[in-house]
Amino acid sequence: MTSGDGPDGPKRALQLLAEVQALAHLGIWEWDAARDRLSWSDGLYEILGLPRETTPTFAALLACVHADDTADVKQFLARARRERNPLSLEYRIVRPSGEVRAVQARVKATFDDAGEVVRILGTDQDITETKNLSARLVFSDRMISVGTLAGGMAHEINNPLGTISAYLDLLAEHPEERESETIIAEARAAVDRIRIIMRGLAAFSRAGEDRRTPLEIERVLELAIGMAGNEIRHRARLVKEYSGTPPVLANEARLGHVFINLLVNAAEAIPEGQADRHEIRISTRTDAAGWIVVDIRDTGAGIPSEIQDRIFDPFFTTKAVGKGTGLGLSISHGIVRSLGGEITLRSEVGRGSTFSITLPPAKDVARTRPAASPQQQVEQDPKLHGHVLIVDDEIAFANSLRRLLSNEHVVSIVPNVREALGRVKAGERYDVILCDLMMPEMTGADLHAALTKAAPDQAMRIIFITGGAFSPSSQRFLENVPNLCFEKPCDIQKLRSSIRQQIAAVRD
């Protein structure tokens, strides 16, 4: 590389700068306070997807920001005019083509002797590909964890399945069994065990973007325990001390990934066959600042002090060759930091380790609609008996619902969305439509979209039932519609109550 001397030096330097910016997907901007003028480089035009004739203004920049991030960017720019230290912010832009890109912004203000801002220099770097690579790495590590736990999960599922199967055989042979209430209660408990494991598997196997919602921390912990329970059971007693903390704004799969990593690590720090002598204790609390703290403590081997500073480094592991990727704690650290939290370690050789996760509470949380948890019970009222349509390609499940509901409602069954649409378009009307979300050919989301156009009142009366909304499109759909959604197997009492409430609301 030559110096900038000579007549062509400045021109060559500018050319090199432009090439470096393009290579780094970087744009530069500068605000001159004296002239209140903003200027930016060609690289920023490229990142924003704007034509070169666009006049550089903060209004033009903000117009490119994703609607959900606009308030954060405005606050960021306001802080840049006040603070002397460099600031950074990650946000999203939406190009004119509709493409969403992730941007890392950095700014530094210069002040005069009187403390007035003279200029602000900023950079915006397109980090979309880096974030996508990171997401794939997180998902890959999560799948490794799930694969490692697969044998234990099969064991956890087969045990309650064996209980249910044995009780069904017992009732089939002795239908007048005197202890039928106890049998039913124990069978339901077994179903609940399977439900928790399958919810965890569905959540933690989910790919897609880092979509965050308000989450109850204890619920995510329970899903992680359901996944890692077999690893723990043969090594330690599990002790839970939950104190009822505020919600956190997080992605369920990613936060669950952190807890699974820490629980499995805690179990592997304890030798097998000594469960009576060891424990893994999970506690939750709210600190003085209102933040949520989760402690996962084990009484295992502990970590030597000389390597504790490296424990979150990528590819560093204390496990034997072939027993770990060395990425679990590094990825967990990154996930927690991305949520605005911290993860710390306290450990003593021979006495065990404690990992503490501290997370900020979700601010201004509007509680998300519950997955089928009605707030009020409607009194029994003959006027609330209605016509219920069940749309489900699993006919055995549909028939079981029909038998459970038909003593209170008129129940019809169709095996697919096309037949349901045909009935509604022919003039039939239903008080409630119980619709499976994931079906071949046309889905429950397709039915909702079609009814929204053809019969909006019927679209509002859909209650979705799903064995698992695995696709990103179905997840987004459920987040954006007001309709209730139940997961199979359903809590029949809550389902009955929701049906009655819906009928009551329609007839008021």
The alpha carbon of residue 138 and the mean position of all alpha carbons in its chain are separated, in whole angstroms, by: 13
Rounded (to 5) percent helix, strand, coil in the chain: 45, 20, 35
Q: Which residue has the tokens 């696709």?
A: 471
On the CB side of 333, CA atoms within 13 Å amount to: 14
CA–CA gap between residue 385 and residue 401 (Å, rounded):
16
The pLDDT of residue 11 is: 65
8-state DSSP, 483:
S
Mean pLDDT of the chain: 79
| pLDDT > 80? residue 44 | yes
| Out of 34-48, 322-336, 358-372, 438-452, least confident range | 358-372
pLDDT value for 134: 62
What is the model's pLDDT at position 356? Answer: 93
Asked if pLDDT for residue 424 goes beyond 90, the answer is: yes
Provide mean pLDDT across the span 481-499: 86
Two tokens, residue 303: 């970590």
Is residue 430 within 8 Å of 389, Cβ to Cβ?
yes
pLDDT at 322 over 50: no
pLDDT for the residue numbered 378: 38
Using CA atoms, how far apart are residues 383 and 378, in angstroms rounded to an integer?
A: 12
CA gap 194, 69 in Å, rounded: 39
Q: Are 248 and 362 in contact (CB under 8 A)?
A: yes
The pLDDT, as a whole number, for residue 81 is 86
Q: Which helix (H) or strand (E) holds 6?
A: none
Residue 321: is its pLDDT beyond 60? no
Q: Stretch 473-492: mean pLDDT, rounded?
A: 83
**pLDDT at site 8:** 60
Tens of pLDDT, residues 329-343: 777 888 888 888 999
419: pLDDT confidence band, cut at 50, 70 and 90? very high
The segment with the largest mean pLDDT, out of 41-45, 401-405, 419-423, is 419-423
The residues near 120 (Cβ < 8 Å, ≥ 6 apart) are 30, 31, 33, 80, 81, 107, 108, 109, 110
Domains of the chain are 9-126 (3.30.450.20), 132-359 (3.30.565.10), 382-507 (3.40.50.2300)
Name the DSSP class of 295: E
The mean-pLDDT minimum among 119-133, 194-208, 400-414 falls in 194-208
Q: Give the up-direction half-sphere exposure of residue 456: CA atoms within 13 A in the CB hemisphere.
A: 1
| Token pair for 294 | 């989760």
User: At 225, which amino acid appears?
Assistant: I
pLDDT for residue 155 is more than 60: no
Ranges 111-125, 189-203, 310-324, 461-475: which has the least confidence: 310-324
Lowest mean pLDDT, pick from 15-19, 74-78, 301-305, 433-437: 15-19
pLDDT tens track for 237-288: 999 999 989 999 988 878 888 898 899 889 888 988 778 889 999 999 999 8
DSSP assignment of 45-93, as one string?
HHHHT--TTS---HHHHHHTB-GGGHHHHHHHHHHHTT-SS-EEEEEEE
Residue 138, pLDDT above cutoff 70: no
Q: Which residue has the tokens 């996760």?
A: 357
Strand partners, 212: none
Q: What is 313-381 written as a DSSP string? A: STT---SPTTS--S-HHHHHHHHHHHTT-EEEEEEETTTEEEEEEEEPPPTT--PPPPSS--SSPPPP-
Asked if pLDDT for residue 170 goes beyond 60, the answer is yes
Q: How many helices (H) and strands (E) does the chain have?
A: 15, 17
Q: What number of CA atoms fall less than 13 Å from residue 72's CA on the CB side?
A: 15
What's residue 242's pLDDT?
94
Measured between alpha carbons, how far is 266 from 353 in angstroms, rounded to an integer? Answer: 8
What is the percent of the chain where pLDDT is above 90?
A: 20
d(CA 361, CA 214): 9
358-401 pLDDT, tens digit per residue, is 999 987 544 433 343 333 333 445 556 889 999 998 887 888 88
pLDDT number for residue 1? 35
Listed residue (108, 110, 65) closest to 90, CA to CA: 65
pLDDT digits (tens, 9 = 90+) for 183-222: 777 777 777 777 766 666 666 665 555 678 899 999 899 8
Query: What pLDDT is attached to residue 12?
Result: 64
Cβ atoms of residues 226 and 203 within 8 Å:
no
Q: Any alpha helices (H) in 369-491, and if so which ranges?
A: 395-405, 417-425, 444-454, 456-459, 472-480
